[in-house]
């Protein structure tokens, strides 16, 4: 496919997980990603694993983006981590607020992702390409849809180069979001985040909390398959490939896949798009 693709991983927790992810990455490199990104646990909880995985990707000759969340962080800690990433040769960041697990006081010197973006620009100039998160179906903690659009525009204007969306299965939400923020003066690429469907309960559980809606017809079909994993995967492949097809035909700048550290579903979707 001519359209750029990128792949997101989370840092593995065990040596076996790291070995498995190494194999998954090699499989996905066959699709020639523009870059691969690695998530970062809020409060720095996965910092070591995130940076190690980013380092492994760079050593494999592929561009790597480190996610970087600021909730609970201080300017001094962010400055030190930026210096580490720069020394590693990282040129791309996904700058986020993040969510602290309940029970943690917010604390820290950053309140919104826009604070982090502005800080990174002030500290490091144009050393990093900065991505930010976008929510076509509205961030779950937003005061209102309008304030969420405004907050998005503010963080882009603080110095972001591009954005990646939360996943969605309703393409109209994405198109409407892009139109609305364009009217607020945002003209950076907004790349759809794509979540392949490979299981039912995990997706249904996860989506409510993160600001992604599973349309009723998809939810009911998934529930109807019960434990029939083969049918869930076949249905998921069809639904998500159709979604990507619509997006590609509408001229999106790229596709970013939430791989969940698996290669099969993402590979099948990209191959079908070809």
List interacting residues with ligand FAD (CB under 6 A).
Answer: 39-42, 67, 69, 94, 96-99, 112-114, 133, 139, 141-142, 147-148, 151, 154-155, 164, 166, 193
Nearer to ligand FAD, 192 or 236 (CB): 192
How far is it, in rounded angstroms, from Cα 204 to Cα 213? 9
H-helix or E-strand containing 165? Answer: strand 162-167
Catalytic residue among 8, 81, 131, 137: 8
Q: Least separation, in Å, of the C-beta of 233 and ligand FAD?
A: 24
Nearer to ligand FAD, 171 or 233 (CB): 171
34 assigned to active site: no
Sign for the pseudo-dihedral over CA of 150, 248, 258, 83: negative
Nearer to ligand FAD, 56 or 113 (CB): 113
Spell out the SS3 assignment of 64-76.
EEEEEECCCCCHH
Q: Least separation, in Å, of the C-beta of 16 and ligand FAD?
A: 22
Q: Least separation, in Å, of the C-beta of 157 and ligand FAD?
A: 11
Residue written as tokens 């204007």?
157
CA dihedral 76, 80, 83, 88 (to 10 degrees): -160
Nearer to ligand FAD, 118 or 237 (CB): 118
**200 DSSP assignment:** S
Q: Least separation, in Å, of the C-beta of 220 and ligand FAD?
A: 26
How far is it, in rounded angstroms, from Cα 207 to Cα 211? 6
Q: Least separation, in Å, of the C-beta of 96 and ligand FAD?
A: 4
Backbone angles phi, psi at 36, to 5 degrees: -120, 140
Q: Which long-range contacts (CB under 8 A, 24 or more apart) does 227-232 make?
A: 229/199, 232/197, 232/198, 232/199, 232/200
Nearer to ligand FAD, 94 or 232 (CB): 94
Catalytic residues: 8
């Amino acid at each position: 496919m001519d359209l750029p693709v990128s792949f997101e991983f989370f840092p593995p927790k065990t040596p076996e997980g790291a070995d498995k992810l190494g194999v998954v990455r090699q499989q996905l490199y066959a699709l020639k990603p523009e870059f691969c990104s690695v998530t970062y646990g809020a409060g720095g909880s996965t910092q070591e694993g995130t940076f190690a995985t980013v380092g492994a990707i760079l050593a494999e000759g592929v561009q790597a983006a480190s996610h970087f969340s600021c909730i609970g962080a201080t300017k001094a800690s962010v400055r030190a981590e930026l210096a580490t990433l720069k020394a590693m040769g990282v040129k791309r960041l996904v700058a986020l607020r993040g969510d602290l697990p309940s029970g943690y006081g917010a604390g820290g010197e950053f309140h919104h992702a826009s604070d982090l973006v502005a800080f990174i620009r002030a500290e490091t100039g144009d050393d990093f390409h900065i991505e930010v998160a976008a929510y076509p179906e509205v961030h779950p903690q937003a005061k209102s849809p309008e304030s969420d659009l405004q907050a998005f525009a503010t963080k882009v204007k603080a110095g972001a180069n591009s954005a990646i969306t939360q996943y969605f299965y309703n393409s109209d939400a994405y198109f409407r979001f892009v139109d609305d923020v364009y009217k607020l003066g945002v003209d950076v690429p907004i790349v759809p985040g794509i979540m392949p469907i490979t299981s039912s309960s995990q997706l249904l559980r996860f989506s409510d909390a993160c600001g992604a809606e599973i349309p009723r017809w998809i939810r009911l079909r998934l529930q109807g398959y019960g434990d029939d994993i083969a049918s869930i995967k076949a249905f998921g492949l069809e639904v998500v490939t159709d979604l990507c097809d619509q997006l590609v035909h509408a001229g999106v700048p790229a596709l970013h896949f939430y791989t969940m550290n698996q290669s099969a579903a993402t590979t099948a979707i990209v191959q079908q798009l070809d």
